Structure 1
Amino acid sequence: MDKHNLTVLNEFILMGLTDCHKLQVPLFGLFLIIYMISVAGNLGIIILTKTDSRLRTPMYFFLRHLAITDLSYSTAVGPKMLVNFVVDENKISYYFCVTQLAFFIMFITSELFIVSAMSYDRYVAICNPLFYTVVMSQRTRWVLMVILYLYSTFVSLLVTIKIFNLSFCGNNVITHFYGDTLALLSLVCSNTYEMELIIFILAAFNFISSLLIVLVSYLLVLIAILRMNSAEGRHKAFSTCGSHLTVVVLFYGTLIFMYMQPKSSHSSDTDKVASIFYTLVIPMLNPLIYSLRNKDVKYALHRTLGQLCSVFSQSSLYHSHKSHYGL
């Protein structure tokens, strides 16, 4: 990073969601609740899928990594946004902004391909059930995840380093609640055509390739389901895909609304609302969707809570016996 950036620009000012002071406290309370539910839900999914023997199938392996990415990119943005609701000036240091952007790009890119990997997993489970454990073996799953994370890290570092190697002007006000790429590029003095082209190509490739995997997988799943003779079999197949389809519609629907609408229709406020939805609301909804609609997850949760209650009751009984006998 050049000396101009280091000596002249040490921090940015975030405009935040709103400049209305009356809304700061209510919005802080609302988004604090959303973020806490997101953290609790995603941590719960991570712990359950790691500890419960019934949830060690390929589907729950990908669900665990979906929860990790949800928790990671919401944490990259959420806590700083919450702090900015209660401080007088919404400042973010130069290096914190670099770190925030790098982590956000890495995990949002990872999420795109994890969602598509989950679609492929559903395709194999329904269309090739006899070969499911062979095709989606533990080694295959880990190879997929390693490639996915390495690629996401490459995209993140490429975009972040190139943006922060550009020369920023005197204006350091970001018209967003986090260091978004397009908001940062609007502060750059030099020509941004090359950088905008790189971002467009990467975003288009990531979005189209991952969405194509999702669409092809579910098209083949739909064909396989319609060919089933048993109504019970069709219902079971649809139910195994229901939670993931809900996640797909929410995630890709928000991204399509955000990036595919005409440039003339874009406004700062609608972009902020859409950003809130996919940075905080979707990470909160995903674990709720999977826990409320999935019998295996609900059973694992009840069993874990039952075991915890049993441990606490035994502990309290032990301490009561000790106090009774004066030990």
Structure 2
Amino acid sequence: METWNHTSSDFILLGLFPPNQTGLVLLLLIIFIFFLASLGNSTMIHLIHVDPRLHTPMYILLSQLSLMDLISISSTVPKMVFNFFSGQKSISFLGCGLQCFFFATMACSEGLLLSSMSYDRYVAICHPLHYPIRMNKRVCVKMMIGSWILGAANSLAHTVYTLHIPYCQSRAIDHFFCDIPAMMTLACMDTWVYEYLVFVSTCLFLLIPFLGITASYGRVLYAVYHMRSKEGRKKAFTTCSTHLTVVTFYYAPFVYTYLRPKTLRTPAEDKKLAVVYAILTPMLNPIIYSLRNKEVLGAMTRAFPILFSKKE
């Protein structure tokens, strides 16, 4: 491995792939995934904005999920691609700070937003008569704003602290973006207190919401099982399974990465897991929600009639 000694305030991103033909092929695959994620999430945002039939709490929250995924993947992949093709590995102090802030904000906010989406489905299926009261547009907006504000506030605190830690000798981050735990290994001071705070934040924004979502969908599936309408059971089960798929892809690698002790973690494994929650999940979310959702498919046919017109 090359040794990178810092001569300025810039950081070095060692990247995800080696600079050879195999690395190029894998990077092209990442670029393709980035294109699909950008197109899919942008399309979801557009459909929910222009179609009045999708102006319901569930789809409004879904539009925010797509926006968060779009910002999240855009904060990491373009810089990784630029560094690979330019042969550079550096990222400025400000650029690293922005990556930390935006990625952490989206991670925390998305965790809270997924909890809001599970609550929406819980009320809709288990307490349908109370749905207009418990999940009206005012409540939905409060959930959205709360997710963004809490995620940004938590991220800002972590980012400011991380950028003020004294770094000595190497500033080479063994990752493809400025991930806070990866940066902690370069500090010249004992960071156990801060690592504990990262652990607490992970529990508050990821683990507890994940447990809450699991319990919520457990109750929902129980209610679905006892539904009299066969069509209602099928629709509710499809919705729940869709949400659970997204939640599992998002939470599982995140929680596994950030809650493990530092002694049990390796940079190579952390980067592989990061590919799942930072790159693959933003691509899968719009695909899963569109292909398994009749309302979204209907909105697509209305918004893009040329693409979905039947041949006579």
Per the normalisation by structure 2, the TM-score is 0.92
SS of 2:187's partner is coil
Aligned residue pair count? 304
Write out aligned runs for 1:9-158 (5 A). Answer: 9-158=8-157
| Cα distance in 1 between the residues matched to 2:193 and 2:173 | 21
Give secondary structure in 1 for the equivalent of 2:75.
helix
Cα drift, residue 158 of structure 1: 0.6
Question: Does residue 1:173 correspond to 2:172, yes or no?
Answer: yes
Q: CA deviation at 1:308?
A: 8.7
**Rg comparison, structure with higher value:** 1
Deviations 1:124-168 (A, max 9, x none): 110111221221111111111112211111101110111111111
In the alignment, the residues of structure 1 paired with residue 268 and residue 8 of structure 2 have an alpha-carbon distance, to the nearest angstrom, of 26
**C-alpha separation in 1, matches of 2:182 and 2:262:** 15
Q: TM-score, normalised by structure 1?
A: 0.88
Q: 1:153-302 residue pairs with structure 2 within 5 A?
A: 153-260=152-259, 265-302=264-301
Matched position secondary structure for 2:131: helix
TM-aligned CA distance change 1:147 to 1:95, over 3 Å: same
Moved more, 62-71 or 299-308: 299-308
Structure holding more helix per residue: 1
Structure 1 counterpart of 2:161, one-letter code = K
Deviation at 1:103, TM superposition (A): 0.7
Distance in 2 (alpha carbons) for counterparts of 1:20 and 1:36: 22
Q: Is the 8 A contact 1:77 1:178 kept in 2?
A: yes
Alignment of 1:309-324 (within 5 A): none
> RMSD across aligned C-alpha pairs, in angstroms?
2.0
User: How far, CA to CA, are the matches of 1:99 and 1:42 in structure 2?
Assistant: 22
Please, which moves more after superposition, 112-121 or 13-22?
13-22
Q: CA deviation at 1:307?
A: 6.9
What amino acid does structure 2 have at the position aligned with 1:61? I
Q: CA deviation at 1:89?
A: 2.4
CA distance in 2 between counterparts of 1:135 and 1:122 reads 11
Instruction: State the Cα distance separating 1:82 from its structure 2 match.
Output: 1.1
Is the contact made by 2:221 and 2:240 (CA closer than 8 Å) also made in structure 1?
no
Q: Which amino acid aligns with 1:64?
A: S
Superimposed CA distance per residue, residues 49-103 of structure 1 (whole angstroms, 9 cap, x where no aligned partner)? 0110111111101100000110011111111111122122211111100111011
**What is the SS of the residue equivalent to 2:11?**
strand
Distance 2:131 2:165 in 1: 48
Per-residue deviation, 1:203? 1.1
What whole-Å deviation, never above 9, does each CA across 1:276-325 have from its counterpart, x for those lacking one? Answer: 11111100010000111111111111111117999xxxxxxxxxxxxxxx
Which consecutive aligned stretches of 4+ in structure 1 deviate over 4 angstroms post-superposition? 260-265, 307-310
Q: Any stretches of 5+ residues in structure 1 without a counterpart? A: 1-6, 311-327
- Counterpart AA for 2:86: V
Structure 2 runs not aligned, ≥5 long: 1-5
Q: Hey, what's the Cα distance between the residues in 2 that align with 1:160 and 1:269?
A: 23
1:12 CA displacement: 1.0
DSSP 3-state at the match of 1:13: strand
Identical amino acids, percent of aligned pairs? 37
* Rounded Cα–Cα distance in structure 2 between residues aligned with 1:125 and 1:184: 43
**Residue type matched to 1:137 in 2?**
N
SS in structure 1 at match of 2:142: helix
Counterpart of 1:140, as a letter, is V
Deviations 1:21-61 (A, max 9, x none): 22232122111110011000000000100110111111101
| Residue of structure 1 in register with 2:3 after alignment | none
Q: Report the AA paired with residue 247 of structure 2.
A: V
Distance 1:129 1:240 in 2: 15
Does structure 2 conserve the Cα–Cα contact (< 8 Å) formed by 1:9 and 1:172? no
**1:149 partner SS:** helix
Secondary structure class of the residue paired with 1:168:
coil
